[in-house]
Amino acid sequence: MKAKHQKQAGERLKLWQQRLAQSNAAYSAEYTRMDQRERIYNGDDQLRPLVPGDTRRDGGPRKTSHVRNIVFENVETQVSSAIPQPKVTPRRQEDEKLAEILEHFLRNELERLPFAQLNDLAERTVPIQGGVAYLVEWDNRSRTHDTVGTQVVRMLHPKQLAPQPGVFTSIQDMDWIIVKIPTTRDAIYREYGIWVEEDGESEPAVRGVDGVSAVEDALTRYVGYEKNPQGGINRYCWVNDTPLEDLEDYQARRQPVCKQCGRVRPLPGQIIQQETEPVQPQPEELLRQEMAGQMLAQSMAQEAMEGGGGLHSLPVEADPQSAPREYQGGPCPWCGCEEFTDQVQDYEQVLLPMVTGKGLDIPGATPDLDGEGNPVMRPTLIPFYKPGVFPIVLQRSVSVYGQLLGNSDVDMIADQQNTINRLEQKIIDRLVKAGTRITLPDNASLRVDSQDGERWYIGSAADKAMIGVYDFKGDLEYELLYLNNVYEEARQILGITDSYQGRADSTATSGKAKEFSAAQAAGRLESKRVMKHKAYAELFRMMFEFWLAYGDEPRPVTYRDTQGHTQYQQFNRYDFLERDEDGQYYWNDQFLFSVDTTDTLANNREGMWQETRQNLQTGAFGDPAATETLILFWTKMEELHYPGAGATKQALEERSQREAQAAQQQLLTQGDSGNMPIEGTPELV
């Protein structure tokens, strides 16, 4: 049996290595172009030959001493630090509250995860290489006092992808895909408990551009994902010739199960049953429990016939003659066995009753009979959620038919960059060669220096006629004109104008004209923004699905309401649990994910500050002198993170309270003075 298992493991490793070799062979030319693009972006000084023989004497490429990097300039012009914010739309009216909480939770996740760094790197990689990818993972080793696991999102350079050859529509349309992750021996040992001694780093090029040499302790970890016939995703990990992990349906929940009794190992802190002195129940109580157990057994048997959990999938059989206690780890609390094995669990066992945020009552463990007719407690079964998709989201630059990645801006203007490099070198050569030249006879030995009154002895008039001074200024009119033409050509290819770059634009004479010109240029780049928004929408959905599958504990959510006050809520995956008319539990994932398009304007804080001030001055908030109006104004400014807005709003709120108290005191004073009798007149009774 062991030899058969080793043979199967060797066949699996060979299969994945063959897939990796196929992908590397199909994309080898693309990997070479990726390195070339990075070199051009970083200011490569090599000149591409235009005609045969346009090289140095040794056959190497010619170089320029001056690089005007228009590729860098045009790429940096398009960089945006704005991170798309999620917008969640429910399909049903009753799910509006859940959609609101989910939207705020995803915003908190964007702040928790390093999306500022990921976005900054992706904003440059996408126009250079034509796209990037995001890998979504669940790290169950990250734990706090009351939570287990958290979500991790990392950016993948296109060089780190080994996709299935021939599939260009989408990553989700592939049968398999491989991810190359640079790591170290110690990291492999910490994660898998395997020490890799053989070979070394197989692909150091995935850590950077060409010239990256292998490091002694560095390794390349390959993670392969493939679809299985059941609709799930398998994961296979290896380093060189060492298998690390082979999980079928890796997105399914796995729980440690006792090897002896088969019960699921409780989590630390989970309430289980503790034996106490038995209490003899009354006959009528036994009859009632037996009838309830029989009814529940019939229901569970019918559920098993319909494809549900059935009795065989309920390993928890706690003694009813027991009191609850808290499990603190160690051996099996029921049989004492210290060995556990991981098994795929299709259903979650709910032992204690709970009520979800939407009012769904989950009963927990209920009385039943085991196979021998003894009364036991059967837990409520809830199916585990599985995303069932590759955990990779691809962001393209501009979609191209028959190509996995989008168009590369570097490829589009590489010719213009090469031409500009040549022109710059030609201009430098002409300027360096320019200057003053003196002609002398062959036999002249005259001193040429700055001293005045130097005596020259000329042998004949013919020798004197050969002495002359010539100035070479170097006319650059045509070179500079063509240089500007090539530069404008590169910008027009990418659709970038002066107004979009914030430069002086002679065609736009007014502020509105400049604004329109910039918007027009932005419209030509709209496709790239649409692709970015589409990628983030897919990323938001995948993040939600992973939390729905693995986030067992409630997570805090914080946000600001319309009045600027901080609100605190919880994201609980059980709030998305539903029960149909047949009593079957299912997870509600019917939400539409998109990007809040108003976020671009909201990220322009200075512009929003100016807009808010104008609204105050024009009376849009009410009377500009009224305290209530000023409170509303500074509430908006606090939402826009204006410095000191919170303290100003608090001071105005205190002033409003004092004004209200003064007004109330004045009313009381006026009322008391109206009831007092006037001096010298009889009081009316």
pLDDT digits (tens, 9 = 90+) for 605-629: 677 788 888 888 888 888 888 888 8
Residue 574, pLDDT score: 94
Residue 541, pLDDT score: 97
Mean pLDDT computed over every residue of the chain: 82
Average pLDDT over residues 172-185: 95
Residue 29, pLDDT score: 93
The model's pLDDT over 517-536, given as tens digits with 9 standing for 90+, comes to 555 555 568 889 999 999 99
The yes-or-no verdict on residue 312 having pLDDT over 50 is no
Residue 233, pLDDT score: 96
Average pLDDT over residues 391-408: 93
Residue 275, pLDDT score: 46
The model's pLDDT over 405-463, given as tens digits with 9 standing for 90+, comes to 999 999 999 999 999 999 998 888 888 877 777 777 776 666 666 666 666 667 777 77
Residue 520, both tokens: 């027009």
The model's pLDDT over 532-551, given as tens digits with 9 standing for 90+, comes to 999 999 999 999 999 999 99
The yes-or-no verdict on residue 309 having pLDDT over 70 is no
**Model confidence at 558, in pLDDT bands (50, 70, 90)?**
very high
The yes-or-no verdict on residue 467 having pLDDT over 70 is yes
8-12, 79-83, 241-245, 412-416: least confident range: 8-12
Burial 270-293 (b: 16+ CB within 10 A, else e): bebbeeeeeeeeeeeeeeebeeeb
Residue 271, pLDDT score: 64
The yes-or-no verdict on residue 102 having pLDDT over 50 is yes
Average pLDDT over residues 472-495: 86
DSSP 3-state percent helix, strand, coil across the chain (nearest 5): 40, 20, 40
Average pLDDT over residues 397-406: 91
The yes-or-no verdict on residue 656 having pLDDT over 50 is yes
Share of the chain above pLDDT 70, in %: 80
* Residue 60 burial (10 A CB sphere; 0-12, 13-18, 19+): exposed
Pairing mode, strands 468-472 and 435-439: antiparallel
Average pLDDT over residues 583-587: 93
Residue 684, pLDDT score: 41
Distance CA 210, CA 60 (A): 18
Determine phi and psi for 500, rounding to 5 degrees: -65, -30
Burial 64-81 (b: 16+ CB within 10 A, else e): beebbbbbbebbebbeee
The model's pLDDT over 259-276, given as tens digits with 9 standing for 90+, comes to 888 777 776 666 665 444
Residue 517, pLDDT score: 53
What are 577-586's contacts with CB under 8 Å, separation 24+? Answer: 577/356, 577/360, 577/362, 577/382, 578/360, 579/360, 584/308, 585/381, 585/382, 585/383, 586/383
> Would you give the end-to-end CA distance of the chain in angstroms?
112
Q: Which has the higher per-residue pLDDT, 685 or 78?
A: 78
308-322, 571-585, 597-611: least confident range: 308-322
Residue 682, pLDDT score: 47
H helix or E strand, kind and range, residue 654: helix 645-675
